[in-house]
Structures are given as C-alpha cells and as structure tokens.
C-alpha cells in the first residue's frame, strides 16, 4: 500500500457482478465507498449497453450509483472520436450505444468513410456488408471499442468484438486504427482524469491478473485482486505479476478496507 486510497477503479464483471448475478458484498461495498466519500469508477469493456443503460442496470441490481460512476469502452471510444474531431461514422452498435455516440457529436451515417465497431448484439449480415464496403474504400478511420474475443455469460461464452474484428480482417485485410477500451492505456488515463485522481492514492480492483492487475502495476497504482471471478488461488501462485493485496471477496476486502486504506 503506497498511501491512503481515495480513488478506486472497479472492474465490473467478475468483481461486482457475474453475468446477471450480483457478487457477495458488492452492493454494500459500493454503498460504503459513497458513504466514506471515496471517488470511484466502475469499468467495463462491454459496449453492448450505453452508459445510461448500464446505470439503469446497476440501479436495478441495487447499486446506489450515478452516471458519473460508469465508464464503458463505448464511452472511451466516444471521447477518443471527439478528440479526433470525427463527426460521423457507420457504427455497428445497439440503438442505445448509437445514441451515446450522437451525444458526443458522432452521428450515425451509413455513407460515412469511418467505421466504429462496438459489441453489437443486434449485428446482422447487412451491417457486416456495409462495414466491409467502408473498410475496402480505405478512406476513413477504423475504431473498435475493445479487443475481447468472447464475453463470459452465465452458461458459457458469446462472441464479442474481437471475433467481429477477425471476420472483418479476413474480408478486408484491415485491423483497427485504434481500440480505446481496456487494456489500452488511453482508457485508464481517461478514467484517472475523470476522477481527477492522484496515482499514489488510487487502487484498481479486479479479478483478472493479465488485465486488471497488470494495468495497476504498469500504471504505478495499487492493485487489488479478488478471487470472485477468473483467477483462482492456484493461478495466483504461478502468476508472473502479483497484486499488492488479495481478497477472497468484497466482504473480506471491506472488513480490512477502512482500517488499511
């Protein structure tokens, strides 16, 4: 522990929830963070929902969060495109996500030279056809929200953006010019800016060693691993990167949190 922790980057899937199930202690944990005036962001690479839709989902699950607490790879991509002054794009995305891009000044346009790929759970052949034709013209920018090949769900895995990108690469030979979601440093840089966080007072809390914990290390912030998702104790023993702290779940984390942080 470097010093008192006042800012937290919280991974969502495998840390706070798993699919549709709220993990043990998660709601109490987030409530305590608010009560103790800690600043935090809930991070997810899942770009099938807009930030507003995520807010609604989290509230339905009992989390007392606000819009400012949600940071998706979709929102990171909106910020990225806005910085690049991109005004329109053909977006593979759900209606809510397309609306979120519009709110950042990126209008949905099937005639655009730019292509944005998000976790479009309403994807169909016609959309792939339009996307392929745009890429083959080689004129605009090609951006994807995140690189994950599959998304874990309660009964297995479903194809995610990385799999869509593989299809488009086979068809066009093109790979994205930028992928602003995790594990891109851009994503964490933006998250830190949004909280106005100081590195020495920031911790990342997650369930994956190769992404969450590695990022914490690379970024010079405290890394906290929870054994509620992907990583098991035996994986941790042989892991090349070690977290600063490990907890079985958020209840155990909370028991030591206010004394230690």
Contacts of 184 (CB under 8 A, 6+ apart): 76
**Run of H or E residues at 70:** strand 70-72
Out of 9, 13, 144, 179, point to the residue binding Mg ion (CB under 5 A). Answer: 13
Look at phi and psi of residue 15 and say left if phi exceeds 0, alpha if psi is from -120 to 50, else beta.
alpha
Q: Is 11 in the site for Mg ion (CB under 5 A)?
A: yes
* Inter-residue contact 47 to 181 (CB < 8 Å): yes
Q: Residue 231 to residues 3, 82, 207: CA-CA distances in angstroms?
A: 26, 36, 6
| Contact window for Mg ion (CB under 5 A) among 3-11, 38-46, 62-70, 135-143 | 3-11
Counting contacts by CB under 5 A, is residue 148 touching Mg ion? no
**CB 11 to Mg ion: min, Å:** 4
Q: Which of 207, 221, 226, 253 binds Mg ion (CB under 5 A)?
A: 207
74 and 161 in contact (C-beta within 8 Å)? Answer: no
Q: Please, which residue, 131 or 221, has the CB nearer to Mg ion?
A: 221
- Number of shown-chain residues binding Mg ion (CB under 5 A): 4
Report d(CA 179, CA 143) in Å as an integer: 6
- By CB under 5 A, residue 14 contacts Mg ion: yes
Instruction: Establish if 120 lies at the interface with Mg ion (CB under 5 A).
Output: no
Candidates 9-17, 46-54, 197-205, 250-258: pick the segment binding Mg ion (CB under 5 A). 9-17
Residue with nearest beta carbon to Mg ion: 14
The binding site for Mg ion (CB under 5 A) comprises 11, 13-14, 207
């Amino acid at each position: 522990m470097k010093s008192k922790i006042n800012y937290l980057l919280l991974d969502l899937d495998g840390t706070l929830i798993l699919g549709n199930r709220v993990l043990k202690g998660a709601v109490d944990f987030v409530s305590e963070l608010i009560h103790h005036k800690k600043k935090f962001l809930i991070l997810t690479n899942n770009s099938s929902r807009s930030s507003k839709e995520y807010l609604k989902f989290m509230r339905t699950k009992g989390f007392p969060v606000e819009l400012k607490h949600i940071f998706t790879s979709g929102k990171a991509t909106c910020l990225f495109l806005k910085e690049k002054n991109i005004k329109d794009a053909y977006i593979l995305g759900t209606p809510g996500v397309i609306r979120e891009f519009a709110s950042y000044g990126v209008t949905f346009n099937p005639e655009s030279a730019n292509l944005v790929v998000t976790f479009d759970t309403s994807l169909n052949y016609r959309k792939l056809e339009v996307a392929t034709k745009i890429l083959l013209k080689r004129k605009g920018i090609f951006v994807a929200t995140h690189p994950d090949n599959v998304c874990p769900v309660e009964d297995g895995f479903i194809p995610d953006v990385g799999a869509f990108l593989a299809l488009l690469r086979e068809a066009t030979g093109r790979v994205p010019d930028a992928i602003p979601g995790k594990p891109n440093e851009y994503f964490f840089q933006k998250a830190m800016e949004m909280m106005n966080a100081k590195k020495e007072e920031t911790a990342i809390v997650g369930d994956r060693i190769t992404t969450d914990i590695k990022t914490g290390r690379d970024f010079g912030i405290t890394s906290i691993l929870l054994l509620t998702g992907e990583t098991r104790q035996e994986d941790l023993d042989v892991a090349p990167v070690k977290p600063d702290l490990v907890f079985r779940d958020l209840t155990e984390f909370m028991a030591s949190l206010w004394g230690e942080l």
